[in-house]
Structure 1
């Protein structure tokens, strides 16, 4: 695992009703309470090197320093 400033493993949560909205929380950090509202599904742990499409490493690290979590939209390739 990384340091609190640079996590390498993330707990991922997917918003149920909002398409492909995800919340990433460092694996070694407390999970924000809003993720227990029933509106989010746990999506497992993801190493940063295998991040979901749309996850931006530098933005994620800045967001975690400010908020403790990172919200992003999963990007899918057009068929």
Structure 2
């Protein structure tokens, strides 16, 4: 049996990216809330992690725009 690649199904990529963005934003909100009850080290860790999350969201938003453009071209 010969191996064959699966067809490229991008039909739900934009939805998955939107969900990832929303989940990441929710994690940021939870981290912000938990900082009120954290020691300084945990607070600093949360600040740094939220910064990485913010950068991730920016990249995901660019990826979402690309997926939407791809979808619009192929509709």
TM score, norm. by length of structure 2 = 0.23
The structure where strand makes up a greater share of residues is 1
Q: Which has the higher contact order (CA 8 A, sep 6+)?
A: 2
The structure where helix makes up a greater share of residues is 2
TM score, norm. by length of structure 1 = 0.22
Highest Rg: 1 or 2?
Answer: 2
